[in-house]
């Protein structure tokens, strides 16, 4: 199959995925789209929203449409790294045997990831970056495709452990889930208070996902789009001569090079699912907010004056 035919197949599969997910998830189109873009790009996503917005259900539904092995980890203050990675035990022959943890799956739902201490949060770092884990000096490769989709509750901060910047940077997208509109909420209530069960069909296989990931990486990008993405990231850094005044006044630290890489990968994926053979500046802008938001560290002045990440990113354009 040529790349042109593969791209047309990707567009069709993407439309089928969204249609299948819409059987269960009503609204939240932007969130669903960005999760699919991160999966097609081989990245991880952090979902932020108040309780009851179907974050867990969304990830579960997407995993079913992709036909991938899915594991849910409920993060709690007493969760240990071995509860995620696995541990060695002595078997009946007095020999050490490794028992794999839930990390050995295709899609990991890290539910309420900020409820566990940094030591346990860090257990995900190697897996997210290297697609492998090291336990008791032994190296284990994870099956691909591999994605971490983490959820976080933004309103209840008592007893939580904010994610360190190094770990936040491993997430390609930070996706905000908003309240549904009135009509969407009516539809949600109707569909969830009856006795009907919706059957979810598998649209993609692991092999197809991996082939689409390679296809997206092969999509060419013209230099001016790459320069635009790199320039956008550079503007988030207070020390840059191109930074707008709002960055100089309200930002302590800007985004790093991984943001530039993710902007181009995200733009490629966004172009591909829309049937375009190469991304343009509009594709970069379409994914910029979700990629840059969690990589900008605001200062105390920004917090005191209520300056949001959205205002800062809009100023970059």
Long-range contacts of 124-131 (CB under 8 A, 24+ apart): 124/84, 124/148, 124/167, 124/170, 125/166, 125/167, 125/170, 127/85, 127/103, 128/44, 128/170, 128/171, 129/170
End-to-end Cα, the chain, rounded Å: 38
Instruction: Tell me the pLDDT of the chain (317 aa) as tens digits.
Output: 688 888 898 899 999 999 999 888 888 888 889 999 999 999 999 998 877 777 888 888 888 898 888 889 988 888 888 889 888 787 777 777 888 889 999 999 988 888 888 888 888 888 888 888 888 778 889 888 999 998 887 766 666 777 878 788 889 999 988 888 898 889 888 888 887 777 888 899 889 999 999 999 999 999 999 999 999 999 999 888 888 888 888 888 888 899 999 999 999 999 999 999 999 999 999 999 999 999 998 889 888 888 888 888 888 88
Residue 212 maps to a domain: no
- The answer to whether 131 and 170 have CB atoms below 8 angstroms apart is no
Instruction: Let me know whether 153 and 235 are in one domain.
Output: no
Instruction: Let me know whether 156 and 238 are in one domain.
Output: no
Backbone φ, ψ for residue 251 (5° rounding): -120, 130
Instruction: Let me know whether 125 and 261 are in one domain.
Output: no
Domain closes at, from 178, 206, 234: 206
> For the domain that residue 95 is a member of, what is the CATH number?
3.40.50.300
Residue 29 maps to a domain: yes
Residue 122 maps to a domain: yes
Q: Percentage of the chain with pLDDT > 70?
A: 98
Counting the structural domains of the chain, the total is 2
Which residue from 6, 38, 45, 107 is spatially nearest to 268, judged by alpha carbons?
A: 38
Instruction: Let me know whether 109 and 22 are in one domain.
Output: yes
> For the domain that residue 298 is a member of, what is the CATH number?
1.10.8.80
Residue 215 maps to a domain: no
Instruction: Let me know whether 60 and 108 are in one domain.
Output: yes
Residue 214 maps to a domain: no
Strand bridging mode 70-74 / 297-298:
unpaired
Domain closes at, from 174, 206, 238: 206
Six-digit token string for 17: 């995925």
Per residue in 96-106, pLDDT (tens digit) is 788 888 999 99
Instruction: Let me know whether 154 and 20 are in one domain.
Output: yes
Instruction: Let me know whether 104 and 247 are in one domain.
Output: no
pLDDT of residue 159: 62
pLDDT of residue 156: 60
Domain closes at, from 165, 183, 206: 206
- The answer to whether 298 and 310 have CB atoms below 8 angstroms apart is no
Which residue from 160, 151, 175, 169 is spatially nearest to 35, judged by alpha carbons?
A: 175
Instruction: Let me know whether 29 and 90 are in one domain.
Output: yes
Residue range(s) defining the domain that contains residue 106:
3-193+202-206
């Amino acid at each position: 199959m040529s790349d042109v035919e593969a791209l047309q197949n990707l567009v069709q599969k993407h439309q089928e995925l969204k249609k299948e997910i819409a059987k269960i998830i009503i609204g939240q189109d932007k969130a669903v789209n960005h999760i699919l873009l991160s999966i097609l790009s081989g990245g991880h996503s952090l979902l932020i929203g108040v309780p009851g917005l179907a974050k867990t259900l969304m990830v579960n539904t997407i995993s079913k449409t992709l036909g991938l092995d899915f594991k849910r980890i409920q993060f709690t203050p007493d969760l240990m790294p071995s509860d995620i990675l696995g541990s060695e035990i002595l078997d009946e022959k007095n020999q050490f045997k490794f028992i794999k943890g839930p990390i050995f799956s295709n899609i990991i739902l890290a539910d309420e990831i900020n409820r566990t201490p940094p030591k346990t949060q860090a257990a995900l770092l190697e897996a997210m970056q290297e697609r492998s884990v090291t336990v008791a000096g032994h190296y284990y490769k994870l099956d691909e495709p591999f994605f971490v989709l983490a959820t976080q509750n933004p309103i209840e901060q008592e007893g939580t452990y904010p994610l360190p910047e190094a770990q936040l940077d491993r997430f390609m997208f930070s996706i905000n889930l908003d309240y549904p509109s009135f009509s969407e909420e009516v539809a949600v209530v109707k569909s969830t208070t009856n006795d009907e069960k919706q059957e979810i069909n598998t649209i993609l296989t692991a092999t197809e996902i991996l082939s689409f990931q390679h296809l997206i990486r092969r999509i060419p990008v013209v230099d001016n789009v790459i320069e635009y993405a790199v320039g956008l990231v550079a503007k988030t850094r207070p020390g840059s001569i191109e930074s707008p005044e709002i960055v100089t006044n309200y930002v302590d630290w800007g985004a790093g090079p991984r943001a530039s890489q993710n902007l181009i990968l995200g733009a490629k994926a966004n172009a591909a699912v829309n049937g375009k053979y190469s991304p343009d500046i509009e594709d970069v802008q379409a994914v910029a907010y979700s990629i840059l938001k969690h990589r900008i560290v605001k200062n105390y002045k920004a917090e005191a004056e209520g300056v949001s990440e959205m205002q800062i990113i809009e100023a970059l354009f």
